[in-house]
Amino acid sequence: MNAIDLLKADHERVKAILTQLSESTERAVKKRTELLGKLEMEITLHTKLEEEILYPAFKEAGSKEQDIMYYEAKEEHRTVDSLVLPDLKNTDPATPEFSGRVKVVKELLEHHIEEEESEMFPQAKKLLGNAKLNELGAQMEAMKADYKKSSLTGLAA
């Protein structure tokens, strides 16, 4: 699968989880906790795929405009990974505060996804071409398989 298609499929999974989370109620503590765990796993792996595989290739193939896009996308990842997601994880899922934080995470991620899909990905297609995107996609699939294997091994230990 080509890298862009793989990342777009990830985006759809993340958006579906966010929708379920935002539609859940304060009584659905167990469901919210499970969804938050899924969201964190998806985002962690997705960020790793983008930052270790697609973004460097995109930056290398581009010019100053792509450099700016690269650093903006990385900063959006950092904001979610270091600030927003940890805050959400430390919030009681049975509270209105949790609902408010979910809304903010959803808006941030949807904005980030929209920018990637409407600006970065079309440029990446032009700059990198199908052969390179297929090669990057294969690297991503291998990284995903390794990540899932190590996650399962970590759970079994």
What pLDDT shows up at residue 138?
A: 97
**Which tokens sit at 82?**
């270091």
The answer as to whether 64 is a domain residue is yes
pLDDT of residue 93: 96
Max distance between CA atoms of the chain, in angstroms, equals 50
pLDDT at 27: 92
Residue 71 lies in a domain: yes
Supply the range of the domain harboring residue 126: 3-149
On whether residue 23 sits in a domain, the answer given is yes
Please count the structural domains in the chain: 1
Burial profile 64-84: b = 16 or more Cβ within 10 angstroms, e = fewer: eebeebbeebeebbeebeeee
In this structure, is residue 114 part of a structural domain? yes
Residue 86 lies in a domain: yes
Query: Buried b vs exposed e over 32-47: b needs ≥16 C-beta within 10 Å?
Result: beebbebbbebbebbb
Taking the model in full, what pTM does it have?
0.91
Taking the chain (157 residues) in runs of 10, the rounded mean pLDDT of each run is: 96 97 94 96 94 96 95 94 93 95 94 96 97 97 89 61
Domain contains 154: no
Looking up tokens 């997705």, which residue turns up?
Answer: 46
Query: What pLDDT shows up at residue 150?
Result: 81
Domain assignment of residue 157, yes or no: no
Whether residue 97 is contained in a domain is answered as yes
Residues 6+ apart with CB under 8 A from 19: 106
pLDDT at 122: 97
